[in-house]
Structure 1
Amino acid sequence: MTEKKKDKVLHSLVAGLVAGGVEATITYPTEYVKTQLQLDGSSGTKRFKGPIDCAIKTVQEKGVFGLYKGLSALVIGTAAKAGVRFLTYDQLKTLLQDENGKVSGPRSMLAGLGAGMVEAITVVTPTETIKTKLIHDQTRAQPQYNGLVHGVTKIIANEGLGGIYRGLFPVMMRQGANQAVRFSTYSTLKQEFQKYSGPPGQPLPALVTFGIGAIAGTVTVYATMPLDVIKTKMQGLKAKELYRNSFHCGWKVLKEEGLFAFWKGATPRLSRLLFSGGIIFTVYEQVMTGLKKIDGTKI
């Protein structure tokens, strides 16, 4: 590998790690509420009327920091998965680009699909499972987990390593679909804006990058929400008792809760991805630009 390629790989990894950590910390309360809404009713009892009611009850019962339960697991996981995601996407995009260095929409979607699958296997499944169990544990009369390390230790002790890889299949499907839709939408819109933004290769203004990322996040939410609902239910504390597999889970949701249950939690997830798409792409682009300037490479 040449020095220039090594720099590009390192830049992608570092920028992705920073972008993921910043995005997760800012948007976590919406992820908490989304997860609670998706788990609500799994045991036959509904506690929340909607996202606002969920947020208010959580603050009343557990204080403001109750909305940040499981944050450490998601920050670590989001930083790592963003690093893996952007690194994998950039490498696949390089392989799929044409002789002019351009990547078509379908090829960008393929690169995003590959990036999503890789991040699902290496990072997302264990961190999302841990986060979901930590959040679900808060609904118990007497929570069993005292934090990230204690929670992970007990989960592995009770369920083995498979306990933190619960829901691997739906996570792979969701992450693959997420990144295929997100990257193809972002890449297509970015190329269109760059046609009118000045000289080729010129970085887009941060506000434009944020707007494009937000649009990509919105499209992603509604296209992949059913997979996210199944993923969350398969990672709940009682998933082993309630569902035989992901397909059985999907059938039970449809049968017992109705078609629109597949979009339960869409509002807080949209709130998160609307901003997370803007934040993560903006921070990523800015960090990449900064790293290239530090290294003295041509932008």
Structure 2
Amino acid sequence: MVSGKNDPNTPPIVSLAAGGVAGGIEAFTSYPFEFAKTRVQLRTQKGIPTPRNPFLVVTQVYQNEGLRALYKGCAALVVGSIAKDAVRFVFFDTIKQAFADPQTGTLSPLRNLAAGMTAGVVASITAVTTTERIKTALIDDARNERRFRGGYHATQVIWKEHGLPGLYRGFVGTTLKQASATAFRMGTYNILKDFETTRNIPQNTATNFANGSVAGVVTTLCTQPFDVIKTRSQSAQGASTAEAVKSVLIDYGIRGFWKGTTMRLGRTVFSGGILFTAYEAAVKIINPLYSGVKHTAASEA
């Protein structure tokens, strides 16, 4: 489980499966907020204001382009989130054991953040950068050229035109975002959970959701600049990290690095609660099943 203490009853395979389930649920249920946030962060024509209310963006897209457009890039994000959160949870659960105090089995706040940062880097390399690139390119392409018929077609086109580097466009920004976001999200959640454990506060669905939502707020406010740079880098045409930073400064100045904060908060508050609640629930279901299969296999052997 995601907690400050080692849990020998949650093997890596269970963390992997539960993280994947939680990631898929979280990505699908919160995607309209992600769509709205990405639309706002991409470049628009000068003089055309962009709304801060995510519900207004979603409504406008639905009215002008239909429901299908609103979920453009969703499949790429869901697939990426399944892989991303499976990797993040299994690596975080594994890494935190190495970082834990050998006497108490708990992690200090700094070690919680360090474990989360390490897990975020691994997730960015193995799953996040490529799927985020496809998702962002699809959302951007739907506004203008409409060259991409779907996620698979977008992958083919980007690979043909730019090769593997094209799929890893925005790697620096994505890795910075993932390292910091995972550190703050996982770290904050575990710090809150450790505190509650010492105060004998029961860990139930409501507590898990509240902790996840708080972790989402902290993560968003601390990592928004990296998210803006990542989005600009991964537009349909693509841009280097330096070009992305320059374009944000030209368009909006320093304040531009927090473009889409309201949109992202709408998603992360909700998705943070969903993610950790779904993970804890999935562990409770999968762990006994895995233990039963393992016990049966051992008996037959």
Q: TM-score if structure 2 supplies the norm length?
A: 0.89
Task: Check 1:252–1:71 CA distance in 2 against 1; reply closer, same or farther (3 A cut).
Answer: closer
Structure 1 residue 133 corresponds to structure 2 residue 140: no
- C-alpha deviation, 1:290, in angstroms: 2.0
CA distance, structure 1, for counterparts of residue 65 and residue 25 of structure 2: 24
Question: How many aligned residue pairs are there?
Answer: 284
Contact preservation (8 Å) 1:229, 1:262 = yes
Tell me the amino acid that sits aligned with residue 169 of structure 1: V
Determine which of 253, 266, 269 is the counterpart of 2:261.
266
CA distance, structure 2, for counterparts of residue 52 and residue 90 of structure 1: 36
Contact preservation (8 Å) 1:40, 1:48 = no
**What's 1:210 paired with?**
209
Tell me the amino acid that sits aligned with residue 256 of structure 2: A
Farther off after superposition, 45-54 or 230-239: 45-54
**What's 1:105 paired with?**
109
CA distance, structure 2, for counterparts of residue 11 and residue 53 of structure 1: 39
CA deviations 1:234-270 (Å, max 9, x no partner) are 1112334xxxx32343244224311211111111111
**What's 1:49 paired with?**
51
**What's 2:297 paired with?**
none
Contact preservation (8 Å) 2:42, 2:140 = yes
Task: Check 1:18–1:271 CA distance in 2 against 1; reply closer, same or farther (3 A cut).
Answer: same
Contact preservation (8 Å) 1:40, 1:47 = no
Contact preservation (8 Å) 2:138, 2:236 = no
Tell me the amino acid that sits aligned with residue 179 of structure 2: G
Q: How does 1:194-233 map to 2 (within 5 A)?
A: 194-197=197-200, 204-233=203-232
Tell me the amino acid that sits aligned with residue 267 of structure 1: T
**What's 2:276 paired with?**
281
Contact preservation (8 Å) 2:10, 2:283 = no
Determine which of 115, 127, 148 is the counterpart of 2:119.
115
**What's 2:65 paired with?**
62
CA deviations 1:125-147 (Å, max 9, x no partner) are 0000000000001111x411111
**What's 2:16 paired with?**
13
- C-alpha deviation, 1:218, in angstroms: 0.3
Task: Check 1:52–1:279 CA distance in 2 against 1; reply closer, same or farther (3 A cut).
Answer: closer
**What's 1:32 paired with?**
35
**What's 2:192 paired with?**
189
CA distance, structure 1, for counterparts of residue 235 and residue 15 of structure 2: 33
Give ranges in structure 1 of 5+ residues lacking alignment.
none
Q: TM-score if structure 1 supplies the norm length?
A: 0.89
- C-alpha deviation, 1:52, in angstroms: 4.0
Contact preservation (8 Å) 2:24, 2:82 = yes
CA distance, structure 2, for counterparts of residue 279 and residue 5 of structure 1: 24
| SS at 1:239 equivalent | coil
**What's 1:158 paired with?**
161
CA distance, structure 1, for counterparts of residue 136 and residue 48 of structure 2: 18
CA distance, structure 2, for counterparts of residue 49 and residue 196 of structure 1: 42
Contact preservation (8 Å) 2:19, 2:88 = yes
- C-alpha deviation, 1:22, in angstroms: 0.3
Contact preservation (8 Å) 2:9, 2:287 = no
Give ranges in structure 2 of 5+ residues lacking alignment.
1-6, 295-301
Identity over aligned residues, as a percent? 38
CA distance, structure 1, for counterparts of residue 277 and residue 57 of structure 2: 30
Alignment root-mean-square deviation, CA: 2.0
- C-alpha deviation, 1:67, in angstroms: 1.2
Contact preservation (8 Å) 1:80, 1:123 = yes
CA deviations 1:80-124 (Å, max 9, x no partner) are 100000011011001011122111111110000000000001100
CA distance, structure 1, for counterparts of residue 288 and residue 95 of structure 2: 24
